[in-house]
Amino acid sequence: MTTLDIRSDVTVQLVDHNLSDKAVVRAARVSTVGQTHNNPTEDADRDAGLINYLMRERHGSPFEHGSLTLFVEAPIFVFREWQRHRIASYNEESARYRELRPVFYLPAADRNLVQVGKPGAYRLKPGTAEQLAFVDCELLNAYEAAYEAYERMLVAGIAREIARAALPVGIYSSMYVTMNPRGLMNFLSLRTHREDAAFVSNPQREIEMCAEKAEAIFAELMPVTHAAFEANGRVAP
């Protein structure tokens, strides 16, 4: 019998990128100055001011020059949400081409479990210890039953693409995703919950966990742009 690998976290790793705050400034300055990329002068304050101006005034195109590739491991229900973002590039593990590994999601102890309010405006609050234990037990049993059925079908010679119909959306998949800074900020804006944002989004916690990791990477690679994003209500330009 297969032992399940249980996770409550997600993986978001930087794979490749050519992002920089300088690329934003360079692209923006072409409109008023012409070619700027050989310009050796530097004025960090002036650059930061320009980036903040672009963000505030929704001049979005200078934030598109460059790309960030991330490697992501998360449950399929997270991928279902992420891949609705169309200004991005994806390659994902295929359940037609390979056997999926038995890695499954359980909520961590601090995950809010109980729904309050109506669709479109609901909030979650903590569950009791009993509820958490109940969820763990139910999900584990369902995962085990599904994965065992999956394996038995594969052993019986059934095609992977059919056998996988039994697998739950709580199983982990993996993908490479590539975005430009503008697309990434749009993703962060919609997939993080911040009470102080200009628009308060209510993403599911699990995709927000991905977004938070992606945002930490972004903030390190483009600190000035990220600060301007924060300072302007976390609205993608």
Decide if residue 17 touches a copy of itself (CB under 8 A). yes
Structure token pair of residue 181: 């800074």
- Which of 12, 27, 184, 224 is the binder for a copy of itself (CB under 8 A)? 27
The residue from 4, 6, 48, 166 that contacts a copy of itself (CB under 8 A) is: 166
CA angle 200, 201, 207 (to 5 degrees): 145
DSSP state of 157: T
Report if residue 49 touches a copy of itself, rule: CB under 8 A: no
Q: DSSP assignment, residue 35?
A: -
Alpha-carbon separation of residue 182 from 32, 58, 67, 237 (angstroms): 21, 11, 10, 7
Least distance in angstroms from the C-beta of 9 to a copy of itself? 15
7 is catalytic: no
Among 138, 216, 220, 223, binds a copy of itself (CB under 8 A): 138
One-letter amino acid for residue 69 of the chain: T
Of residues 95 and 209, the one with the C-beta less far from a copy of itself = 95
Is 105 an interacting residue with respect to a copy of itself (CB under 8 A)? yes
Residue 43 and residue 62: Cα distance in Å, rounded? Answer: 18
Residues 209-228 binding a copy of itself (CB under 8 A) are: none
Which residues are marked as active site?
191
